[in-house]
Amino acid sequence: MAQPLCLPPGSDIRLADFDADFHEGLDKEAGKTETRRLWEELDDLAYRLYAEARRAVVVVLQGIDAAGKDGTIRMLARGISPQCLDVVSFKAPSQLELAHDFLWRVHKSMPGHGRIGIFNRSHYEDVIVVRVRKLVSEPVWRSRYDQINAFEKLLTDGGLTIVKCFLHISKDEQRERLEERLRDPHKQWKLGPADLDDRRHWDSFEQAYDDALTKCNTEHAPWHIVPANRKWYRDLVVARLVRQTLERLDPRFPPYDPTLITSLE
């Protein structure tokens, strides 16, 4: 059975309707082979975007703890030259950041012309964790959906393409991943009591995500719900999405000047 990657703006998005295990019936080896092939195309397209230096792309990665944001970044970085990439991780805001509006730190982290930004978390934390943890009042987080949509419109009007990916894992899959991390001395450092406490609020996070995905799924910046229980399938879907985005932009090398070579001594 097919499963849509995104829904039309205005649709009610409920994560419970999406199968985190979905993988098109593909087998793992075939999926990995396709991802490796996509890396070659991504590298070429990203290099052209870099040379053209007129437009930019940002890939926004959101998901519950252990959804695979770090792994997805590693995958994209295997395909795209680091000179074309800006990876930014958004943590709990600093005092300086809290002294500004919530979009301040995000706006100044956007990739400049020619570059691909990858956001590990984003301004969506300001309607997700902030809501679940009651860090601001309800009227404040509620007003942010419209503010985010207007902000993203400003960005896309300015030549930025926003690829928003929600990495969708099931509660059982999260348990397995957290357990694996807790047992592995090289992975346990990634977890703290706060992460385990977040799991207790699974339903509240899901509700907050349903609302954010529904209210901020716009024509100019749609959400993609990436089935992420299988890491290889998640990688394939995100690689395809970034490839499609770059192909649509069709970046061009600046015009060739045949006379320039005559000035070479």
Where along the sequence are the contacts to ligand ADP (CB under 6 A)? 65, 89-93, 120-121, 125-126, 129-130, 135
Select 122 or 217, whichever has its Cβ closest to ligand ADP: 122
Min CB(112)–ligand ADP separation in Å: 23
For residue 123, what are the contacts with CB-CB under 8 A and spacing of at least 6? 102, 103, 106, 148, 151
Select 41 or 97, whichever has its Cβ closest to ligand ADP: 97
Min CB(212)–ligand ADP separation in Å: 13
b/e per residue, 156-165, with b = 16+ CB within 10 A? eeeebbbbbb
Min CB(4)–ligand ADP separation in Å: 27
Q: What is the number of the residue whose Cβ is closest to ligand ADP?
A: 125
Cα dihedral sign for 218, 222, 225, 228? negative
Select 126 or 235, whichever has its Cβ closest to ligand ADP: 126
Please name which of 189, 168, 167, 51 lies closest in space to residue 119, comparing C-alpha atoms: 167
Select 92 or 154, whichever has its Cβ closest to ligand ADP: 92
Name the DSSP class of 21.
T
- Count Cα neighbours of 116 within 13 Å in the Cβ-side half-sphere: 29
Select 23 or 72, whichever has its Cβ closest to ligand ADP: 72
First-last CA distance in the chain? 64
Beta strands in the chain (DSSP E): 56-62, 85-89, 116-120, 160-168, 223-227
Min CB(6)–ligand ADP separation in Å: 23
**Element holding 215 (H helix, E strand):** helix 202-215
Residues 52 and 47: their CA atoms lie apart, in Å, by: 9
Min CB(230)–ligand ADP separation in Å: 20
Select 71 or 222, whichever has its Cβ closest to ligand ADP: 71
For residue 118, what are the contacts with CB-CB under 8 A and spacing of at least 6? 58, 59, 61, 73, 76, 77, 85, 86, 87, 88
Min CB(135)–ligand ADP separation in Å: 6
Min CB(226)–ligand ADP separation in Å: 17
Select 38 or 173, whichever has its Cβ closest to ligand ADP: 173
